[in-house]
Chain A
Amino acid sequence: EVQLVESGGGLVQPGGSLRLSCAASGFTVSSNYMSWVRQAPGKGLEWVSVIYSGGSTYYADSVKGRFTISRDNSKNTLYLQMNSLRAEDTAVYYCARVKHGENIYYYYYMDVWGKGTTVTVSS
């Protein structure tokens, strides 16, 4: 069964760090594009970061320079290292697989999602 399971969330003080993990089963993380999406309490979805199968990474402006997306191929796991955390980073963090299809162009969509892990930044 294709599945993603996030872990690593918790309570952290402003300015602190946290590393989120996303363990995949049923498919290979390194062969896919993978992404992190977050949702602040009572708010909508916000894209955070993506890592290509080739290793390129991109970030939302709101986290650029503070968050780092990476993966461990031997563990088939995606990570999100979060530094210099702020109160506004408080959210449920989801990892998702980004699949692509081809018509006369490539198209992309997030087809598998984890259940999320909660990060609370507060003193």
Chain B
Amino acid sequence: DIQMTQSPSSLSASVGDRVTITCQASQDISNYLNWYQQKPGKAPKLLIYDASNLETGVPSRFSGSGSGTDFTFTISSLQPEDIATYYCQQYDNLLRFTFGPGTKVDIK
């Protein structure tokens, strides 16, 4: 089974800061990597699919990059409404999905 790690597990940053989260797969997953945002008490929301594609309607301050085993998610200018937990997600050829453990983002 493919294992996903995320770092950091939590971070605190100021409004306007650039925030970067990394996700690492235990083996090559090509671009099969999505990013989700989850606010407390809410369902997850798709932000990035196929490693670097921005979902329709998602602000352009969110971006993703990477392929193979190492991926990066970036918020270019942190906003108060971005307070949430962010998850990476990978899938295999049978669409068995695995989520990363999550990164909780707070405002300093």
Interface residues of A (CB under 8 A from B): 33, 35, 37, 44-47, 50, 52, 58, 60-61, 94, 98, 101, 103, 105, 107-111, 113-116
Mark interface residues in B44-85 (1 if CB within 8 Å of A CB, else 0): 111001100101000000000000000000000000000001
**13 residue pairs bridging A and B, Cβ less than 8 Å apart:** A45-B38, A45-B89, A47-B98, A47-B99, A58-B94, A94-B44, A101-B49, A109-B34, A111-B49, A114-B43, A115-B42, A115-B43, A116-B43
Central interface residue in A58, A109, A113, A114, by most chain B CB within 10 Å: A109
Q: Determine how close the nearest CB of chain A comes to the CB of B8; give it in whole angstroms.
A: 14
A54 to B107, CA, bound (A): 45
Q: Which of B32, B53, B94, B102 contacts A45 (CB 8 A)?
A: B102
Total B residues in contact with A, Cβ cutoff 8 Å:
29
| Pair A103/B50 contact, Cβ less than 8 Å | yes
A46 to B99, CA, bound (A): 6
Mark interface residues in B78-108 (1 if CB within 8 Å of A CB, else 0): 0000000101010100111111111000000
A44-B87, A107-B49 known; A98 and B95 CB under 8 Å? yes
Central interface residue in A37, A50, A94, A110, by most chain B CB within 10 Å: A110
